[in-house]
Amino acid sequence: MSQTAPIMGAFRVSQAARCRPSVEGLTSPLDWCIMCGPGRFAEVNCLIDQRLAQRRPLVMAHRGSSGGSIAENTSLAVWAALRSGADIVEIDACRTSDGAYFAFHDGLEAEHLGREENLTTLTAEQVAGLSFRWLGHPGRRVRIESLAELLGGFRGETLFNIDRGWTWWPDLLDLLTELDMTRQLLLKCPSRPDLLGILAEHRTPFPFLAICHTQADLDLALTYPGLNLVGVEIITATWDAPLARAEVVHQIHQAGRFALVNAEVLPIARQCWPGYCDETAISDGPEAGWGDLIDRGFDVIQTDWPGLLSRYRDQRAAQERATRAQR
């Protein structure tokens, strides 16, 4: 990068630094209880509780870790994320026209498959015949994996966040129940009464993350009866939005839930949190991008760069331990 070239993220941070709410004096994420969610679901939530007790923030890898010959939402992407230091792997769910589930983000068919048809309009047989085309390895076939196949290959201790599946609840919930991996699967959906109702009434109390864009979303999620709500994903694009207030993370902690934030930059340059993101962390240094998210008390950070974030988190924790030892 030339010295005269603009640094990506620098303007966003400088603008945000002048208007962001103060986080001083609020509860540290390490000050609240380790057990997430309602007490009656403690056994189901034991795996996420253990991870949060071991380290924070937890690193969630967005669609695994892809690149080179490895496609997103595949078993190899999961392995790459885990070996890069990810604590949780986010995977997309998609259903075909005849009711089969695959690990794929529908809407990205043109980019990844070279097709215009949405995967949801194809049959399972048609999807099984497709291959990722963008890898730069034209002689190698990289197929789309079934959701059950991918998840079942990591039975035991790997934590997954299942995204984009709520359209097909409760059918998808039944499929995930049959996998017998409940404690490993963190589900999520927008905080809407119809979706929360389906989840609350289902026989399997999956650990659940509510996606909240407004204070009303948050209030609904925290008070809806019957849910195994373990965490809240906050999405806001501006500092003047109600959920950008520093007190919101404190409110979530006081309710015994963890707070998640997305650091990745989505298509059309849309950010899920104002100013502090993966691009800023890479261009200006991790403290400029991810440091503020940690300071604000977020317990889980979703990223496209799990290796860089986990290394920064561990280095920062080591420095804090050394500082405390010198006091």
30-63 pLDDT, tens per residue? Answer: 444 467 999 999 999 999 999 999 999 999 999 9
Strands 229-234 and 208-212: parallel
pLDDT at 136: 60
> Over the Cα atoms of the chain, what is R_g?
20
Strands 258-262 and 265-266: unpaired
* pLDDT band at residue 138 under the 50/70/90 scheme: low
CA atoms within 13 A on the CB side of 315: 10
CB 179 within 8 A of CB 152: yes
- The C-alpha atoms of residue 32 and residue 244 are separated, in whole angstroms, by 20
Domain locations in the chain as residue ranges: 10-93+155-326
Question: CB neighbours of 68 closer than 8 A, spacing ≥ 6?
Answer: 135
Assign domain 10-93+155-326 one CATH number from 3.50.50.60, 2.60.40.10, 3.30.300.160, 3.20.20.190: 3.20.20.190
pLDDT tens digits, 197-243: 999 999 999 999 999 999 999 999 999 999 999 999 999 988 889 99
